[in-house]
């Protein structure tokens, strides 16, 4: 939705909170402000009941059971908890973790930390489409591997990896299959059992929920995933992560899951319409190309290289567009995106690429304004 003249096309960075989600949260700041651990009075019971409902709602969007959901402060925290925990739990017998160069920094930086702690970390390559070569994965995973960690939807390109095939390889070697599912939740249908995912993560603010709340899914059966305590204290979240629960945030996460499920069919169709209109216009006029496979990707995400427009030198002219350029998730850094470089783009191509990520509040009129803007930019000499 425009804020003044501003057009927000950065919904993979974060989203506006849905009205229904906000209304569900508000009473838990004021009237129902109890601590969910206070077992002796009504304030506590009310908060605990709200957390229970949110756990059910979160489990439902993932098609898993509520007992497999643990609340966290973010997807980043969930990823740290999982990778650090897996290393602590299994490294004596299995010291290897296999991941991919195009993962979010939450995974990459945690893996680099574990490498410094003595873990063997394999960072797999991707091809120009952003996809992993399954034969490479087959060759890399072995009986020393504790976990294979591959994201479902890439935050910069929207490319979706075929997780079920990867999970199968991990399981054949007795390894845990973990996936950073942060960008896919609320955007595509999810069934973690069907895909064989053992550990997954959720972040409310990526799908119209509040910032600062997320969840981790840990499979209970076949295989049962057990992680050691990540935060010590009062024993909340089954002793995995202590700390007073963020009840309003958790209520918001649960509600955001419920609302997202209700919107799912329309979301896919609506986002695809906006994305197709944008891509057709930009690619027809500027020898532009879409980064990543166009077959399996998020409906709302389009990463386009507009090299002929020398976008890199025109950032200041784009102040009315909230988009991501260069390094999409850390766009304040003047570095080319590690994702695009891993896909084989040159530095120049990466710097001249833009991530457009649509959301429920965007309109076709906004797409028209954006495409007109780019069509009126003077190509570089
Ligand atoms: N993983 C992916 C793929 C993301 O896009 C993000 C957010 O940008 C994260 C993890 C981290 O999520 P959070 O903001 O909840 O820490």
DSSP summary character for residue 67: G
Strand 324-325 with 199-203, pairing:
unpaired
Q: Give 130-154 pLDDT, tens digit per residue.
A: 999 999 999 999 999 999 999 999 9
Where is average pLDDT lowest: 77-91, 113-127, 177-191, 367-381?
367-381
Is residue 129 scored above 60 in pLDDT? yes
Is residue 301 scored above 90 in pLDDT? yes
Among 58, 73, 104, 298, which residue has the most ligand 1 atoms within 8 Å of its CB, making it the best to mutate?
104
- Closest ligand 1 atom to residue 79 Cα is 10
Average pLDDT over residues 170-199: 98
User: In the structure encoding, which two tokens stand for residue 282, read together?
Assistant: 């930009």
The C-alpha atoms of residue 156 and residue 357 are separated, in whole angstroms, by 9
Is residue 209 scored above 90 in pLDDT? yes
Tell the residue number behind the tokens 């969007």, with chain if given.
Answer: 61
pLDDT grade, residue 328 (50/70/90)?
A: very low
Q: What is the pLDDT of residue 331?
A: 47
| CA of residue 195 to ligand 1 center, whole Å | 21
Contact 100, 126 (CB under 8 A): yes
| CA of residue 104 to ligand 1 center, whole Å | 7
Among 182, 200, 205, 256, which residue has the most ligand 1 atoms within 8 Å of its CB, making it the best to mutate?
182
Is residue 227 scored above 70 in pLDDT? yes
Q: Is 329 in the active site?
A: yes
Among 101, 153, 183, which residue has the most ligand 1 atoms within 8 Å of its CB, making it the best to mutate?
183
- Closest ligand 1 atom to residue 12 Cα is 5
Average pLDDT over residues 19-24: 98
Q: Whose CA is nearest to atom 6 of ligand 1?
A: 182
Average pLDDT over residues 272-292: 91
Is residue 163 scored above 70 in pLDDT? yes
Residues with Cβ < 8 Å from 354, sequence gap 6 or more?
303, 304, 306, 311, 323, 324, 325
The C-alpha atoms of residue 29 and residue 195 are separated, in whole angstroms, by 37
- Closest ligand 1 atom to residue 329 Cα is 8
User: In the structure encoding, which two tokens stand for residue 13, read together?
Assistant: 């960075």
**Percent of the chain scored above 90 by pLDDT?**
86
Is residue 332 scored above 70 in pLDDT? no
**Percent of the chain scored above 70 by pLDDT?**
96
Instruction: Indicate which residue of 111, 149, 305, 329 is catalytic.
Output: 329
| CA of residue 373 to ligand 1 center, whole Å | 30
The side-by-side arrangement of strands in the sheet containing 301-305 is: 289-290, 301-305, 353-357, 324-325
Q: What is the pLDDT of residue 377?
A: 81
The C-alpha atoms of residue 131 and residue 206 are separated, in whole angstroms, by 23
- The set of protein residues with a Cβ atom below 6 angstroms from ligand 1 is 74-76, 104, 106, 151, 155, 180, 182-183, 203, 214, 329
| CA of residue 182 to ligand 1 center, whole Å | 6
Q: Classify residue 212 by burial, with Cβ atoms within 10 Å: 0-12, 13-18, 19+.
A: middle
Q: Give 39-50 pLDDT, tens digit per residue.
A: 999 999 999 999
| CA of residue 124 to ligand 1 center, whole Å | 20
| CA of residue 378 to ligand 1 center, whole Å | 35
- Angle (CA) 240-21-25 rounded to 5° is 65
Q: Classify residue 314 by burial, with Cβ atoms within 10 Å: 0-12, 13-18, 19+.
A: middle
């Amino acid at each position: 939705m425009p804020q003044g003249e501003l057009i927000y096309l950065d919904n993979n960075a974060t989203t506006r909170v849905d009205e229904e989600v906000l209304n569900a949260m508000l009473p838990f700041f004021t009237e129902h402000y109890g601590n969910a651990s206070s077992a002796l009075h009504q304030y506590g019971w009310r908060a605990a009941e709200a957390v229970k409902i949110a756990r059910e709602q979160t489990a439902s969007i993932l098609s898993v059971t509520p007992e497999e959901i643990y609340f966290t402060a973010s997807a980043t925290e969930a990823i740290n908890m999982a990778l650090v925990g897996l290393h602590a739990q299994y490294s004596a017998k299995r010291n290897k973790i296999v991941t991919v160069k195009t993962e979010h920094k939450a995974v990459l930086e945690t893996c680099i930390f574990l490498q410094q702690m003595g873990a063997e970390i394999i960072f797999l390559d991707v091809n120009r489409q952003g996809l992993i070569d399954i034969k490479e994965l087959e060759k890399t995973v072995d009986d020393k591997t504790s976990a294979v960690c591959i994201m479902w939807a890439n935050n910069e390109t929207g490319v979706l990896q075929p997780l079920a095939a990867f999970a199968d390889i991990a399981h054949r070697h007795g390894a845990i299959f973990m996936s950073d599912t942060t960008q896919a939740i609320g955007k595509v249908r999810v069934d973690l059992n069907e895909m064989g995912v053992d550990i997954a993560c959720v972040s409310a603010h990526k799908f119209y929920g509040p910032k600062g709340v997320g969840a981790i899914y840990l499979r209970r059966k076949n295989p049962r995933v057990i992680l050691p305590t990540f935060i010590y204290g009062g024993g909340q979240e089954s002793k995995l992560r202590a700390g007073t629960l963020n009840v309003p945030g958790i209520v918001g996460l649960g509600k955001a899951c419920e609302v997202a499920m209700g919107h799912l069919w329309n979301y896919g169709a609506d986002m695809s319409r906006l994305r197709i209109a944008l891509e057709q216009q930009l690619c027809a006029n500027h020898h532009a190309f879409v980064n990543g496979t166009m077959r399996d990707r998020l409906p709302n995400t389009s990463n386009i290289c507009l090299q002929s427009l020398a976008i890199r030198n025109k950032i200041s002219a784009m102040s009315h567009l909230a988009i991501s350029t260069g390094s999409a998730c850390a766009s304040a850094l003047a570095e080319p995106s590690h994702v695009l470089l891993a896909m084989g783009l040159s530095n120049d191509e990466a710097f001249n690429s833009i991530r457009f990520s649509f959301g429920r509040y965007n309109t076709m009129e906004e797409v028209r304004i954006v495409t007109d803007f780019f069509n009126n930019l003077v190509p570089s000499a």
